[in-house]
Each structure stands twice: as C-alpha cells, then as structure tokens.
Amino acid sequence: MATITPAQLSIELQVPQKRIRDHLRSVYGTLAEGSTRWLLSEEQAEGIRERFRDDRRARRGDWLLEPGDTVRRRSMHDAYGGQQQGGISTPRGQNDIFIFTDPESGARYGYDKFEGLREDGSYSYTGEGQYGPQEFVRGNRALRDCAKDGKTIRLFRTHGTSATYVGAFTTGTPTYEIETIPDASGNPRAGIIFNLLPTVARVELLPAYGGGLGPEALIDYSAAPRSWTPPEYDDVVVAAADTAPGDRLVSRIEFELQAAFGEWLRTQGLSPRRLPLRAGSALIEPDMFVPERNWIVEAKKSIARGHVRTAIGQVLDYAHVARKAGLDATPVILLPGLPEDDLRELMHTVGITLIWRIEDGFEVSKP
C-alpha cells in the first residue's frame, strides 16, 4: 500500500519537496486525475532515496514542510533535533519552536476547555506541565519569548506517531492568559493558555475552541437560527466566561443598544434571533439575525472610526459565511448614533445597511 509522501522523504533526505516532486513528474508524469498529492510505494521511495542520496542537501535549519504535510514525528526530531517528549520542542540552534497538539489526548486532561481555534482566527494553546501550576520554564518560557527572540512557532496536529504540519504561527496580544485547568489527576491548578496567530497556515486542520470540528469538516458551512433574548446590561463591562485572549469585552452601552433594538424589532412585527455560524473549524456568531429581512446585525457602542471599521469587517465576514450556508444574508451595522459621512458612504459602497438610534426608535438606511 502506498503510504510514503514527498514530505516524509524531504525530511528524511533534507531535500526540498519541489525537487522531489519535479523528479516524480519526470519519471511518472503528472498526478492521476482526482489525486492531490503523491503517495509512493516503498519501491518508488527507494528510487527517490537513490536519486538524491549524494545530492546537495538543504542547509540545516531550512524549513522543508508545507501546511498539510504529514510525516512521522520522530523524523522531525531526527532532522531538526529537539525534545521528543511533551508538547513543546525547542531544537538547539534553530529559529523554530515546534508545538504539538493531540485533541483526543488533550481532552482526557481537560485541555480541550481552553484549547482550539477561536472566532477571530487565533488559536489558544495550553502550556506544558502535567502536574502542579504551570510555570514559565523550558518550553513555556521559549514560547512566551518567541517573538522577542525572533523565533517561528511550527504547529503540528498529532495522531499516534504521525504529525500533520498545520503551519507557522506567532504570539498575539496578550501573549497568554492564566486559567484554572485540571492536572493529569483531575486536580485544579493554574495553566498557561497561549494566544497564537497564524502567519502561513491551514487553520482548518485545527479543532474549534472547546472541541468540535477539525479536518473532517474543511468545507462545512452551516447556519442554525436560535431563540434570542435581550442581553443583560446591569454591569458596566461584561465578558463571557470563556472569552478568548484578545476577545472583545462588550460594554453596557452595546448590550443596552442591542436590547432596545430587539424590542423595537418586535414592535415592527419582526423576530430577532441568534445565528451561530459554522465555517470549517470556526464557530462565529453575529449579534443578531432578523430572518424576515435576512439581516445579519453587528452592533457597536460607538460611532468612532475604529469601531465602525471593525464592524464593517465583522459583518461582511458573517454575511459571507451565512451565504455559503444558503442564507440570502444582508449585512447590517447597528450604532448608537449617525457616523461621519465618509463612513456612511463606505458602508453603502460595500452593500451594508446602516441602522442607528433616534429619539423614538431606530432609523434604517439601505445601500
């Protein structure tokens, strides 16, 4: 059975994959119709080894894998060094830090509660250390300081002895947060949750935050409207219990605006709903969905340019995903007042409906 890939041979021989694939095409022609990558028999692989055995090798430290490549984890350490145990590996003399995640194994220790791909595209990763409070030593310290030290994070999703390269990451802001997680015996302790941002990666290979879909759902888009209730706004600042590092804090003003808008919609005979959206591995949700108008609504507490620009990007993304799921979505931005003329012009240009609060209700301006 053909199980050897150019990626595995690239790591083994320290030869760039492009050279291996070029040689395969010269010998066997193009890939068979319907195939997306070469899968080689041992005989074919031995032919590659013989061809490149005495060729010039890549310089030590050159990165040879592409996002989506699957190799044996041990071969990574044979080629680059680094610790073979644990989730964080720091090869000596390399500008890379390897981190490994196994969602199935991690779930047994409660790591899945804070680990996964978040709505904003960041990835939260639990530090190493199975017992006692996690501390900034060894791999945890290296990961915390990687941006300052000029190092690239290479994230792998593992299964058994295999490791699939997801891609290159860096740390976000904040770099980490401290959360209460269980140790290997189930006892609560302080855990380090790193906030990682992809630079060149296939994030759809990662599980969603809190568990969920992974590479088996690469092109899955779904939308399931749910009942909506007015948000509470007693507190000055409200944060969800499981917010991601860097996730927005929703102010009292924004929640009160949403609640008032929901009540106004009902006086118009409309029914505000929730709309969780699934796009591959990510679960995202706009502030409100109005099915009678197909409105996908994003609310902001201020008409300041920064808030409006953020809303534009968010609501266009929500509407795009909703359309992929089969909804005839109309992007809507809800504001407490009327923004500047050029921002209104921008929203209309990109097809966004603007709704703002007035004394006795809300005003709607369509593009």
CB 98 within 8 A of CB 88: yes
pLDDT digits (tens, 9 = 90+) for 100-130: 988 777 666 666 678 888 877 788 999 988 8
pLDDT digits (tens, 9 = 90+) for 11-26: 888 888 888 888 888 8
Give the pLDDT band (50/70/90) at residue 242: very low
Q: Which residue has the higher pLDDT, 243 or 3?
A: 3
Give the pLDDT band (50/70/90) at residue 318: very high
- Which residue has tokens 């401290």? 178
pLDDT digits (tens, 9 = 90+) for 270-282: 999 988 887 766 6
Backbone conformation region of residue 163, classed left if phi is above 0, alpha if psi is from -120 to 50, else beta: beta
Q: Which residue has the higher pLDDT, 43 or 248?
A: 43
- Residue 218: predicted pLDDT: 40
Cis peptide before 174 (omega within 30 of 0): yes
Give me the chain's average pLDDT, please: 82
Evaluate if residue 36 carries a pLDDT over 90: no
pLDDT digits (tens, 9 = 90+) for 125-142: 999 888 889 999 999 999
Residues 6+ apart with CB under 8 A from 20: 6, 9, 10, 13, 48, 52
Evaluate if residue 236 carries a pLDDT over 50: no
